[in-house]
Structure 1
Amino acid sequence: MAWTQRSCRSAAEAPRRASREHSPRHSFFFTTTAFATANSRIASMATDFRIGAACWAALLLCLQCAQAFYIPGWSIKSWRDGDSIPLFVNKIYSDNTQIQYAFSELPFVCPPSGRQREGTGLISGSNVALNLGEVLRGDRIMVSDYELEMGKDDEAHYLCSQKVDRAGLRKAVEVVKNGYVAEWIVDNLPGATSFMTVDKSRKYYASGFKMGYEDVSPTTGKPRFYINNHVTLVVRYHAAPGKDGEQGKKVIVGFEVYAKSIEASNRDGNGLPPNLHEVGNGMELTMARKANATLPRDLDSSYHPEEIDDGNEDATLTIPYTYSVYFREDEHIEWANRWDLYFVNQEESSKIHWLAIINSLVIFSALSAVVAVILARTVRGDIKGYRESGLEDGKLRIGKRNKGFRSPRSPRKSFEKGGLLDQGDSEGADDASSDDELPEDTTGWKLVHGDVFRAPALGQLLAPLIGSGMQLVVMSTGLVALSCFGVLNPSFRGGFVSVGISLFILAGAFSGYFSARIYKTFNGTLWKHNAVVTAVLVPGLLFSTIFILNLFVWANASSTAIPLGSLVALVFLWLVVQLPLVYVGSWYGYNRSGAYSNPIKANAVPRQIPYQPWYARPLQAALVAGLIPFAVIFIELLFLFRSLWQDKSGYYYVFGFLAVVSTILILAVMETTVIGVYIQLCSENYNWQWHSFLLGSSSAFWVFAYTAYYFATQLHITGFANTVLFFSYAGLACAVYGLLMGTIGFLTAYAFVRRIYSAIKVD
């Protein structure tokens, strides 16, 4: 029993070790083989795999070449005693709003002095160069005036006294009232507040520290707001490994920030309070009222936005800022595992992750049994009987069923040498294939063999969507794989977004290739037009939506507003890099690879589709089918939502679990689509192309519904702009997810349809 517990614990901790600063100790067997299996079942065409293998080989070669460069998280930074350690201020964020702000731009904090930081080559107030992912996630990193010297404690240090007018005071109250948290950075570690686990056995970190707190006046019962104007910085270190340690150098393994509020009065000439450990009153965000105010000052001392005194605009509030610095040696934390403390609290939920996997496996097993029945018994039995009863002197007789719709016209079908069914509209075809000659055992899916490969309506739109969906498949597979191998992790700030955009742009070749082949299969002739539509449709909609949402964020002066330079860079990547890749992929897919070969040619005259039962109609079938993939992932969605909207530091770490659940999700979507398409074909409805896409993407509706439920029950987001931003970003993410799963559903259905109809050929 003890061995079993240790084994389960090791398996649960394995995904957490996927940080770039960690050794990749978890098993990659499940991740690699499962994703390879899923991809091989989605795209069954051999030529597609050759192109994919070449592109992945090129990507791996680029990663090997990247070893010559500095990658944040891999390189250890060591410090000597007395070295100046820069402290960077980043942004503030809150669980109660979608709006973030740059810390350095707040009107009530100390402005940068602009002086040179000795030993670092940095200037206070200078901005740190950011990658595209950092910019898009709202990071605004700046060098601060806080002075830290390795190994030197500083019990009390005065920073500045900031005078705040009424506009600045409004902003300060808003920040405190909404529970904003500040993020500072030392040696690539975010400042954290430490807590203890429920059983008091381990310490864990929560990224950031509170900007202030809210209290209630004992006399009036109204809220009072206090700003945290003193911080205690604790830097944990131990001897550096290897030769650096022999030379007395040290490495930083922890950065803790403890904030408190200290009143402005009763300070010495240096601006320091007499005792930092025993604080009587906090720094209240209040300002003197007008002389003719109705309430005495001592009865209503708190500042209320609705009681703004516009007649005394010259009034100010002075906020003194101080800090303390302590260095503490900690031999229990290795540098390679210094991010572990940020994940200890989340580690307690590993049992729930295992429950999610077991839940997914149970659902997947049930689906597999249904698909096995369809393939092994129903389809194979139908094909066998079809061959035995329908073959006479080398020809196949197609005839009536017991009961069913009478086709207005059913041309003669005969087998040629090549094994393809020829649906030529020859003379006398109506007589030779009349309903009076149908054998008794003919089922619905065989009756539509002459129309099942007919080009769908709006095929010129479906082909670009499938191409963009394959682009997302490549991007998401690469992101999860790189995360599992530890390349993408919290220490690589903004890396997930940056690498995701890069993979999406480079996967434009896949997009053009698949879109062009499917477009030609649908009898399309204007491949250049299709290439432009593929390159512009989905990326253009994504960019337009983000641009419109950016106007909301820009109106609130948030740091998440995308700068003009970044917008130009995105447009450049889209039009100058991705569009040519899509064009090249389209040329190769259309002219060199050509259309996918269908085992049966389409009839000249389409067969009339009979009345469909309620469960076979697109909307009802999609809603029911979407519940199954949603049931596979809804437990894991809880952790994703918590990471995105409650823990806005974004430190989601269990990529091993995510990879396994994602693989089961893909397989569940594939099997659900097979079942849905088979039911549709048995109903003599041959319009399976859009139906399969809808079946695959339908779980996105339930994900969005679950998001709305999470918003109503777990989050405390208020305000029109915040609500619009939340549901817009959630809808955009669900649309991308739906496009990805819809593509998987279509490709799976296409492979299934080709397989069952090619199997009824006579050898």
Structure 2
Amino acid sequence: MGHFRNWVLICFLVFQFVDGFYLPGSFPHNYNIGDKLSVKVNSLSSINTEIPYAYYSLPFCRPSEGIKDSAENLGELLMGDRLENSPYRFKMYSNETQIFLCNSNPLCAEEFKTLKERIDESYQVNLNLDNLPAIRVMIKDGYLLHWTGYPVGTKFQDEYYVFNHLKFKVLIHKYEEPSMAGVIGAGDGAELITTDDKTSNKSKGYMVVGFEVTPCSFRHIPETVKKLKMYDKYPYSIECDPITVGMNVSESNPIPFSYEVSFVESDIKWSLRWDAYLKMEGAKVHWFSIFNSLMVIAFLAAIILVILMRTIHRDLAHYEELDKEAQAEIIEELSGWKLVVGDIFRTPANPVLLCIMVGDGFRILGMALETIFFAALGFMSPASRGALVSGMLFFYTFCGLLAGYIAVWLLQTMTGGDSRGWLSVAWRVSCFFPD
């Protein structure tokens, strides 16, 4: 009984420790008022095509210190992500309006053609702040809809318009230190002690819990723009109306860019800041497609099962009517499921190929189970970009040991313990279904 109580205390201590534990790369960042916030740009993406393009492949404003790539993992590279710094400057809890960013060079024929193609293909601009992608919020038919990123531009009456003014809204929450707790043994029982200190609950800064963007197409005054420098305040009022368009794109003309940012305190906690991305438009269609596929598979499997069961029952009824002597006389003329019993224990025509396919099947199954397990623990959350793909590749490579063992074991089972050729089978498993 004493050992059981000790194990209970240990488990309780572990769970209390996890309460204050953050996964690598997912811990909250504390920003004091006036601290600089780094906005990063990601690759341009589209729902109409799977080809991503670099953000600076279009005539957008470039940072004064030059373009710098952020460190990326293998999963991000395979997914087409390319994080780079941006010219947008934010300061914590510092609202800024009518900030002029830059005036691009006059568009050449190639740039004008590329920009029109990106607009026709519905490419989206993706921005990141504190590892949160920028989302577009819109109210339609009484529902609050979310989209990741914002479109490069739009086409209206054979004219192309670009969204050159961005209205950012950063949702922030007061920084809260995680509460830590521990367990100590006291005689025959356990006592829970906490290390919460009311004096430590004072706000030490803010955490970013949301990043929203509203794109607008605004026509600036050309004479005024020529006199402004980067980060100067635009002298005239900029009305950001996402419904109307004003900045049309034409060859040999520059495109002025501007932005504004506001900070709003929110009740959203840092641990729940990804909930908005799970409610985005398109998630229902995705789940409906999965459910529809599962229903079709289940329906077809049920049909095959019914046909198989009817065939087996008919053959069984036929065999029971025949006596043993009659069965011995016509055994060669019979055809049905009962004759397949003898073929089950026979070595197939190509046992090596069967072993390789079974081994790779276990490999993919092991990869899927391990990925689901670690994803459920939070190690592959959306906050860690590329972690899911990287984890799948790692688990697939690691499960190659399992695939080789299963293939060799199955081959020895079918050949009666003959281990000749096991090295060739193990080698072929790794090449049959490569990464």
TM tier, smaller = 0.7 to 0.9
Pair 175,359 (structure 1): closer, same or farther in 2 beyond 3 Å: closer
2:266 maps to 330
Distance 1:249 1:195, change over 3 A: same
Question: Match for 1:444 among 336, 339, 344?
Answer: 336
Q: Report the CA distance shift for 1:181/1:355 in structure 2 as closer, same or farther (over 3 A).
A: closer
**TM-score when scaled to structure 1?**
0.45
In the alignment, which residue of structure 1 is the partner of 2:122? 179
Q: Map of 1:556-571 to 2, 5 A cutoff? A: none
Evaluate the alpha carbon distance shift between residue 261 and residue 245 of structure 1 in structure 2; reply closer, same or farther with a 3 A threshold: farther
Shift of 1:284: 1.9
Q: Which residue of 2 aligns with 1:276?
A: 238
Q: Distance in 1 between matches of 2:318 and 2:405?
A: 35
CA contact (8 A) 2:171 2:266 kept: yes
Aligned AA for 1:90? N
CA separation of 1:355 and 1:504: change in aligned 2, threshold 3 A: closer
Equivalent residue, structure 2, for 1:214: 155
- Post-superposition shift, 1:521? 3.5
TM norm structure 2 = 0.76
Aligned-partner residue type, residue 466 of structure 1: V
Correspondence for 2:162 among 205, 227, 242: 227
Does 2:44 align with 1:92? yes
Contact 2:176-2:203 within 8 A present in 1 as well: no
* Structure with the larger strand share: 2
Give the match for residue 134 of structure 1. Answer: 76
Post-superposition CA distance 1:683-712 (Å, at most 9, x none): xxxxxxxxxxxxxxxxxxxxxxxxxxxxxx
Provide, for residues 731-762 of structure 1, a one-character-per-residue CA deviation record: whole Å limited to 9, x for no partner: xxxxxxxxxxxxxxxxxxxxxxxxxxxxxxxx
Seen in structure 2, the aligned counterparts of structure 1 residues 471 and 374 have a Cα distance that, compared at 3 Å, is farther
Tell me the residue number matched to 2:429. 534
Query: Deviations 1:468-490 (Å, cap 9, x if unpaired)?
Result: 12111111222233334443332
Counterpart among 35, 40, 57 of residue 106 in structure 1: 57
- Are 2:103 and 1:148 equivalent residues in the alignment? no
Task: Give the 3-state SS of the residue equivalent to 2:355 in structure 1.
Answer: helix
Q: Deviation at 1:173?
A: 1.5
Between the two proteins, what is the percent identity of the paired residues?
24
Q: Secondary structure at the match of 2:384?
A: coil
Partner-residue secondary structure (3-state), 1:126: coil
Q: Is 1:262 the counterpart of 2:218 in the alignment?
A: yes
**Rounded Cα–Cα distance in structure 2 between residues aligned with 1:134 and 1:329:** 31
Give 1:321's aligned residue: 257
Q: 1:477 to 1:371 in 2, by over 3 A?
A: farther
Superposed CA offset, 1:400-438 (max 9, x none): 337826xxxxxxxxxxxxxxxxxxxxxxxxxxxxxxxxx
Report the alpha carbon displacement of residue 274 of structure 1 after superposing the two structures with TM.
1.7
One-letter amino acid matched to 2:250: T
Determine if contact 1:204/1:341 at 8 Å carries over to the other structure.
no
The 1-side partners of 2:85 and 2:414 are apart by: 58
Deviation at 1:371, TM superposition (A): 9.6
Distance in 2 separating the partners of 1:397 and 1:488: 65
Give the secondary structure class of the aligned counterpart of 2:42. Answer: strand
Structure 1 gaps of 5+ residues are: 1-63, 115-123, 217-222, 288-315, 391-395, 406-442, 543-763
Which secondary structure does the structure 2 equivalent of 1:530 belong to?
Answer: helix
Equivalent in 173, 176, 181 of residue 241 of structure 1: 176
Indicate the RMSD between aligned Cα atoms, in angstroms.
3.8
- CA drift at 1:522: 4.0
Gaps of 5+ in 2: 1-16, 179-199
In 1, Cα distance between the equivalents of 2:240 and 2:206? 33
Q: In the superposition, relative to structure 1, how do residues 482 and 367 fare at CA in structure 2: closer, same or farther (>3 Å)?
A: farther
CA displacement at 1:507 relative to structure 2: 0.4
8 Å contact from structure 1 (residues 134, 494) kept in 2: yes
Candidates 274, 286, 309, aligned match of 2:250: 286
Partner of 1:193: helix, strand, or coil? strand
Q: How far apart in 2 are the matches of 1:375 and 1:479?
A: 40
- 1:518-557 equivalences in 2 (<5 Å): 518-523=410-415, 525-539=420-434
1:194 is aligned, of 137, 140, 145, to 137
Match of 1:144, SS state, is: strand
Specify the SS of the correspondent of 1:146.
Answer: strand
Paired residues, number: 384
1: CA distance, partners of 2:102 / 2:401: 55
SS in 2 for 1:258: strand
